Structures are given as structure tokens and as C-alpha cells.
Amino acid sequence: MDIKTPRLAHQAQNPMFRLGALVHGRDDILHLEFGEPDFPTPAHIVEAAMRSLRSEKQGYGPSNGLSSLREAIAARVARVNRFTPSADQIIATPGGTGALMAALLCLCSPGDEVLVPDPAWAGYDGMLAVAGARMVRYPLRADAGWQPDLAALASLITLHTKVLLLNSPSNPAGAVYPRETVAALVELATRHALWILSDECYDQLVYSGEHVSPATLDPNQRVITVGTCSKTYAMTGWRVGWLVAPPALAGGLNVTVAAQVNNLPTFVQRAAEAALTGPQDCAQSMFAAYRERRDLAVDLLRARSRLSYIPEGAFYLLIALSEQTGDLPYDSIQFAEALIAERGIAIAPGAAFGAGAARYARISLASSPETLRAGINGLLDFAQEYEQRHAKP
């Protein structure tokens, strides 16, 4: 008799992660594919981890995180996100990834529908598959600054819809949702009794406009807010983020995180505490560098008449691969593979983020100015040549 079929045996990996693995650690490649700051983690954060390793026991700890870290996160949420959770509503997680995964596992029963932006960060596909939830994409409109199309979103809500996933500042476009849009989204979720899962991993990277946390406009406590140290403090590999739970969900979310990881390493939590409570000038100077890089990329694209949208937040930029409108005459994933093989440039193909970005390549502005300059020009030259290669005779 054949062995019984595992649920995820045939789950495909998002192509962005497959391409990323292909070029990981290669210094013969111009890396524009991942949101990976090229700055080292600031020295005082590293030192806090070293101090912890030298001076305190690295044992099991509370599954929601050390109380001093949860206090530091609660204070940070009050400062940046502008609402005031108690430390009991905070759960430390392995990055924003761990927070999002725990929230989906806690909220969703198999078959529940989760509304996910199109385009959206490539990590959500796998999480929804693991949670057994169904991904329903709602459109972000390129011609409206990659903002959600509220009417289209409302039309996708069914009796099975459980969660509305929001991400502002957004990946991959870098859009920041204005207050009235966030208010309309909270109102829609309230009308349909949905949970909001608000991915705010880029909340400290806002170049224009203001960051509005949905939780500030939510009297009914239906918003779960996700944050991370990864992007603001160049701590991607440390794996520390958090959930801010509505009071009614704090217990369930804590059980979900505990079941997956038990607790974060103590030295990592001490590093996060140092990041959140220590001097913030390091974060401010990295932010200033990202803004300069965004402006450089915008100038380079404008000079070639290829600028379609100026990101207001996060550190990504979408570049249309063709000057023609309509579908690309080639597969954008194969294009990304050819760009690596023939020009040594790695980008994230827009199709990895959803059909809504299939005509685009996403570049990361967390790369050095030299890499951006050579990468953007090389990408545009190659896209032109590749299109001619695939033109119908």
C-alpha cells in the first residue's frame, strides 16, 4: 500500500526564494534581489548580545519574551505606531515572519480565506499554505500609486473570509496608505467581522506621507500588528520581531508561538532590547542612506524615461520591464534567470509578488549606490535586448 500523502509534499517554493538561493553569497553578482541592508548591525547592538553571552545563562525563557524586551517593544509601539498596548499584549517572535505565521495559524481554520494584496511580499504564499488557508488576492492599482482598490476588495469578501492582510509601507511597491484609506479598510473589516493582520515591518522607513497603524483606528480590537528589528536596525539575520495582540488573542497567540519556537535565544532578545532602547542615530543614518538611494534610483530611471512610481516608504522600487503596455512577450522568471546568467545581475521578478506586478522587476534600495547604478542601467539594457530576442517575427 502507498504511504499516505503529506499535505505539503508538493508545495512549490516561491520563485523569488529559489532565485535568491541560486545567487546567495556570490560576490560576482550585483545583488538587487532581497531587502537585505548592506550595513552591518550597529556595534552597540552586537555588544549587548556579546555581553549577554558572557554574563548570563542562555536557558529557556518565557515563550512571549523577556519582560524587559516586551516593555521595550510596548514603548516602541507607543512611539512609532501611536497606540499603547500593555506588555502583556506583546509577544516576541522569530522576525516578522514568525509573527505573521503564528497569527495565521492562530486565526485560520483550514479553508478560511485570507485577503492578500496583489502584488505582495513573496513570503505570504508559503505561510498561507502552511496554515491551510486560501489566498484571495485583492488588487493594488499601479495607476493609483499601488493603493488598494477598495471596491474590488469589498467584492471579494465571502462568508469564508476570515482575515484582511494589510502591508503599508508596502513590499514590493513602497506605497504608504493614507489615513483615509486605512480608516476605510478598518471600517470594511469591521462591517464584515474580519480580523486585520497588519504587517508593519517597514513602519520606520517612510519618506513621504505618514505611517498610520490600523490599530489606532480600531475601537473593536480586531487588529494584530506585526513589527520587526530586521529592517530598521539591519538585523535581518538575528530573527527578532513581535506581535501586538488584541487582549482577547494574547493567550492564543502565545500558545501558537510557544508551540513553534518555545522562546527566542536570550542574547538575541538582549540585542533587540539594545536596538529599541539605545541610541537611534544609527537607524536614522541608515534611513537617510536609503532615501538617498531611492533618489538616485529615481534620477537614473527618470534620465531614461522609465520612472513609473516613486516609492514613499520601505526600500524597494518596481521597474517596468518593457516600454510597451500589455503582457510581456516572455516569462519574467526566465528573464530573471537569464539576467543572472548573462549579466550577473540579480533582481526579484515581479511575478513572484503576484500577477499585478508581472510586468515589473523589483529592485532593493538597500543595496550600495554603485550596485544600484550598474544594476539599474544593466537591467534596462538587458530588458530591451531580451524583448527584441523574443519579439514575434
Report the relative pairing of strands 147-148 and 161-167 from DSSP bridges: unpaired
Give percent helix, percent strand, percent coil of the chain, each to the nearest 5: 45, 15, 40
Amino acid, res. 146: W
Please, what is the minimum distance in Å from the beta carbon of residue 269 to ligand PLP?
Answer: 15
Minimum CB–partner distance for residue 243 and ligand PLP (Å):
12
227, 357, 371 from 31: Cα distances, Å: 25, 20, 7
Distance CA 326, CA 341 (A): 26
Near ligand PLP by CB under 6 A: residue from 20, 42, 61, 95: 95
Question: How near is the Cβ of 274 to ligand PLP at its closest, in Å?
Answer: 17
Residue 377 cell numbers, joined: 542601467
Give the shortest CB-168-to-ligand PLP separation in angstroms.
Answer: 10
Stretch that binds ligand PLP, among 92-100, 261-269, 270-278, 292-300 (CB under 6 A): 92-100
Which residue number, 29 or 205, has a Cβ lying nearer to ligand PLP? 205
In the complex with ligand PLP, which residue's Cβ is closer, 116 or 300? 116
Largest alpha-carbon pair distance within the chain? 70
Residue from 14, 41, 81, 230 in contact with ligand PLP (CB under 6 A): 230
Residue 33 near ligand PLP by CB under 6 A: no
All three cell numbers of 341, joined, read 546568467
Q: How far apart are CA 195 and CA 75, in angstroms?
A: 24
Interacting residues of 284 by C-beta distance below 8 A, sequence separation 6+ = none
Alpha-carbon span 206 to 311, nearest angstrom:
9
| Residue 14 Cβ vs ligand PLP, minimum distance, rounded to whole Å | 12
Closest CA to 350 of 195, 122, 126, 196: 122
In terms of DSSP bridges, do strands 223-228 and 195-199 run parallel, antiparallel, or are they unpaired? parallel
Q: Which lies closer to ligand PLP via its Cβ, residue 269 or residue 383?
A: 269
Nearer Cβ to ligand PLP, position 270 or 343? 270
Nearer to ligand PLP, 33 or 328 (CB): 33
Residues 261-320 that bind ligand PLP (CB under 6 A): none
Which DSSP category does 321 fall into? S
- SS3 label, residue 197: strand
> Which H or E element spans position 318?
strand 316-320
**At its nearest, how many Å lie between ligand PLP and the CB of residue 136?**
18
Nearer residue to ligand PLP within complex by CB, 121 or 207: 121
- Does 41 bind ligand PLP (CB under 6 A)? Our answer is no
Which of 52, 64, 89, 228 binds ligand PLP (CB under 6 A)? It is: 228
* Minimal distance, residue 99 CB to ligand PLP, in Å: 8
Binding ligand PLP (rule: CB under 6 A), the pick from 20, 61, 119, 241 is 241
Rounded to a whole number of angstroms, the CA Rg of the chain reads 21
Q: Which is nearer to ligand PLP, 205 or 274 (CB)?
A: 205
Residue 169 lies near ligand PLP (rule: CB under 6 A): no
Q: Which is nearer to ligand PLP, 167 or 269 (CB)?
A: 167
Distances (CA, A) of 292 to 32, 204, 238, 264: 16, 16, 26, 34
Of these, 20, 92, 121, 282, which contacts ligand PLP (CB under 6 A)? 121
Does 171 engage in binding with ligand PLP (CB under 6 A)?
Answer: yes
User: For residues 131 and 383, which CB has a smaller minimum distance to ligand PLP in the complex?
Assistant: 131
CA distance 291 to 293: 5
Asked if 119 interacts with ligand PLP (CB under 6 A), we say no
* 354 counts as binding ligand PLP under rule CB under 6 A: no
CA atoms within 13 A on the CB side of 240: 31
What is d(CA 37, CA 25) in angstroms, rounded to the nearest whole number? 14
Judged by CB under 6 A, the residue of 20, 35, 85, 311 near ligand PLP is 35
Q: Considering only CA atoms, which of 168, 238, 246, 245 is closest in space to residue 203?
A: 168
> Using CB under 6 A as the criterion, what x/- string covers residues 184-213 for binding ligand PLP?
---------------x-x------------
CA angle 209, 213, 219 (to 5 degrees): 135
Q: Which residues bind ligand PLP (CB under 6 A)?
A: 35, 95-97, 121, 123, 167, 171, 199, 201, 228, 230, 236, 241
